A and B are shown apart, each in its own frame.
Chain A
Amino acid sequence: MKLRFIGLICVVLVVMIVSCQNDGQVEFNRYYSNGNAVYQVHCQNCHGAKGEGLQGLIPPLTDSIYLKTNKKILACYIKSGLKGKIIIANKTFEGEMPADDLSPLEIAQVLTYVTNSFGNKIGTVTIEQVNADLAKCN
């Protein structure tokens, strides 16, 4: 009897974990595909369809280490723009990225797209994370 109860709990747990994962995957897919659309409209002209950037003018979005290290401030960069020297993939860039008044949801979507495309694999960036990050922008 006890054994069957434990077994049942185990099954329930497994089902919960699996469905959670599925929910996570569904959430990721939703963020990612919407992010692709946002990217095409707001980012692709400069950063390119493959995130390749443009020579020494516009940095590529393929530097996974930079994206990972700066994960918590990327939302601010999109929202308020980015100016001054940055080093991407061992190359110095010093142009200016204009601010883009995207909604927190759009920022989360496009960040999910960028940080999981072009050879990057950082996982879902949720609207909750973006809201928290935006609250700390300078």
Chain B
Amino acid sequence: MKKLIYVAALFMLAGSACKFNNSDNKALPIFGNRQPVTKTVNGKQVTDTIYQTIPAFKFVNQYGDTITGKSLDGKIYVADFFFTTCPTICPVMHRNMLPVYNEFKSNPDFRIISHSIDPKYDTVPVLKKYADKMGITGNTWWLLHGDKDATYTIAKSYLTSVQEKNPRGNYVHDGYFILIDKQKRIRGTYMGTDPAEVEKMTADIKTLMAEPDQKTAK
């Protein structure tokens, strides 16, 4: 099954690479559910596409600060799900995330948010200690503590595009990195355990940052 996902990802990569070559305006695809909305503007019928966005949320970061959707207004960010005592894929994910953090940590419009899926153990002090040991400082990379149900609910929004590729399974534990734009739309999903995919994500973040409507969005 994993192989299938890789193949699909490869095709997508190949497809997007061709698209990049053919157009001057590089742009990442927009994932998630969408619906057309027809409205009347100045007497003319205009059809717009409403893209799925990440709904409002409220969590606490490693400093004990409350983090909501508003905290990410005007930010391009990457989200993932982990827990500090996870001996399997989490160390791999965050080993791969470190270069991303180092690349963009001086950019005030970029964030990484890592939701703990083990809020019982991963309290704020535990998350702070984890951040310290990882060498994470400042506000670029937030480790979020919150209600387990709320975390799993928000996970569903992030992982919609993963779900589309393969409707079965629980992707919270699969180590995906999800790239979100300033309008809170899903612009990419990457296997956080695969260094090559994470490199692709870094390139995609740069592409996204250069998109005209990202540059101007607040």
Residues on A lying within 8 angstroms of B by beta carbon are: 45-46, 48, 54-58, 95-96, 98
Contacts and interface: CB of A to CB of B under 8 A. Distances in A.
A109 B116 CA distance: 35
Interface string B118-157: 0000000000001011110000000000000000000000
A48 B95 contact: yes
A57 B134 CA distance: 6
A46 B87 CA distance: 7
Interface of B: 85, 87-89, 91-92, 94-95, 98, 130, 132-135
11 contacts: A45-B87, A45-B89, A46-B91, A54-B91, A54-B94, A54-B134, A55-B98, A55-B135, A56-B133, A58-B91, A95-B133
B23 to A, nearest CB: 37
A98 to B, nearest CB: 5
Contacts of B92: 45
From DSSP, what is the main secondary structure of chain B's interface residues? Answer: helix
Contacts of A45: 87-89, 91-92
From DSSP, what is the main secondary structure of chain A's interface residues? Answer: loop
A56 B135 CA distance: 7
Most chain B beta carbons < 10 A, residue from A48, A57, A96: A57
Nearest to B88: A45
A54 B94 CA distance: 9
Given A55-B98, A98-B87, 15 more contacts: A45-B87, A45-B88, A45-B91, A46-B87, A48-B95, A54-B94, A55-B133, A55-B134, A56-B134, A56-B135, A57-B91, A57-B130, A57-B133, A58-B91, A95-B133
A45 B82 CA distance: 14
Contacts of B95: 48, 54
Contacts of A46: 87, 91
A81 to B, nearest CB: 10
B91 A56 contact: no
A95 B130 CA distance: 10
Nearest to A96: B85
